[in-house]
Structure 1
Amino acid sequence: MAHAPQTRALANPSAGLLDSLWPALAARVAWYRTYRRTLDELRQLSDRDLADMGMHRSTIADVAREAAGRL
């Protein structure tokens, strides 16, 4: 009787690592997209509009980081 080799025995040891990296990578990409979108939108506002919201142009990156951190 012929015996077929069992390929499952040679499981990929890095598969577990990749499985754990994908969700972390997806979360980081989502965070970065939110950060960039917020940053771009705030940079388009005038100084007057920013002042009306209680912000200064120098705080835009901090506000974008805070907004993206709430994901």
Structure 2
Amino acid sequence: MVSLRQSFNNWRQYRNTCNELYRLSDRELNDLGIARGDIPFVARRGN
């Protein structure tokens, strides 16, 4: 069972990852092979 603290930490890491990726330019995202619309999926997969 995941604790409330762990759930919050997972959510916070997800949001930080999303924010960092959204700050990248389209060219930088393309270099990484990520479409802007895929950022939430990529961020969630990372957790």
Structure of higher RCO (CA pairs closer than 8 Å, 6+ residues apart): 2
Aligned residue runs from structure 1 range 39-58, under 5 A: 39-58=18-37
Unaligned runs of 5+ in 1: 1-19
Deviation at 1:34, TM superposition (A): 0.4
- Whichever of the two has the greater Rg, that structure is 1
**Pairs aligned (count):** 47
CA RMSD of aligned residues (A): 1.4
Give 1 or 2: higher helix fraction: 2
Q: Which runs of 4+ in 1 moved over 4 A?
A: none
Unaligned runs of 5+ in 2: none
The TM-score with structure 2 as length reference comes to 0.91
Percent of aligned positions with the same letter in both sequences? 40
